[in-house]
Amino acid sequence: MIRPVNGSGMKRMALLNDLSCFGKCSLSVAMPILSSYGVETVPLPTAILSTHTADGFGSYVMRDMTDEMKAFAAHWRQLQIKFDGICMGFFGSVEQMHFAKDFLRDFAGEDTIVVVDPVLGDNGALYGCFTEEYVQAMRTLCESAQLITPNRTEAALLAGCGEEIGYCARLNGQYMEIFKPCLPQTLHGTGDVFVSALCGELMNGKGMPQALKDAAEFCDDCVQKTAKRGESHWYGLAFEDKLKEGRGL
Ligand code: PXL
């Protein structure tokens, strides 16, 4: 028997992203952060990795989930699951990005917020696992989004940053930017923390200017708290400290 799954009154967001089991990025941070905003999360893992792909972990193990993604989405179609938001990040292949377009066709209604975090590279370079064909497919996917969140490498010219990190948005012809201090540290998954907070703010009904401001504040707070933990927390953002603070602990 199939029971109804819509209309609970809770905002629901599909998350097409990887599950990097150790290292704090992608689904590992998006799910707890969005839950803390009262958003029901529905992960669709694009790949499962032992760690994220940054230097420092040696060679990582990665399992592609393309077949599972298609099968899971087919089941969700039977259940007629509706999403208020769809957020996409790391894809393991060009084929997965073609599938992502089908997913949007099937699951994005008129009021669905579509966010693409175009995970491509950092520090001025493309991640080693990606090709130019991948970049082109990501460009095409970005055309389907209301909001894209490239990082400094992808948006350096637009943001014009120097000693600072710029969070910027262009929406309905309006451009806005917010700057926070840039620390001399590379923290993987920072973009994932920022995008998750931004999705959480938007799903709670905030308009873009306030949502961007509050998400930038949230992300910067996580960066500052991580810096306080020093060298031992080199592999990602200590976002848990921020969530714990929200509980008054
Ligand atoms: O946070 C970006 C990201 C997402 N997914 C994987 C990564 C990275 C950054 O290194 O390796 C697997």
Burial label for 48, CB within 10 Å (0-12, 13-18, 19+), is middle
What pLDDT is stored for residue 159 in this prediction? 37
- Give the residue, by CA position, lying nearest to ligand 1 atom 2: 189
Model's pTM, two decimal places?
0.86
Sheet with 62-64, edge to edge strand ranges: 62-64, 40-51, 12-22, 85-88, 113-116, 147-148
Contact 154, 125 (CB under 8 A): no
Contacts of 135 (CB under 8 A, 6+ apart): 120, 126
- Give the residue, by CA position, lying nearest to ligand 1 atom 7: 52
User: Rounded CA gap, 32 and 39, in Å?
Assistant: 10
Q: Is the CB of 53 under 6 A from ligand 1?
A: yes
Q: Is the CB of 49 under 6 A from ligand 1?
A: yes
User: Which atom from ligand 1 is nearest to the alpha carbon of 190?
Assistant: 1
User: Which atom from ligand 1 is nearest to the alpha carbon of 52?
Assistant: 11
Q: Is the CB of 39 under 6 A from ligand 1?
A: no
What pLDDT is stored for residue 158 in this prediction? 32
Q: What is the pLDDT of residues 66-93, one digit of tens each?
A: 999 999 999 999 999 999 999 999 999 9
Q: What is the pLDDT of residues 129-152, one digit of tens each?
A: 888 888 888 888 988 999 989 877
How, if at all, do strands 147-148 and 113-116 pair?
Answer: parallel
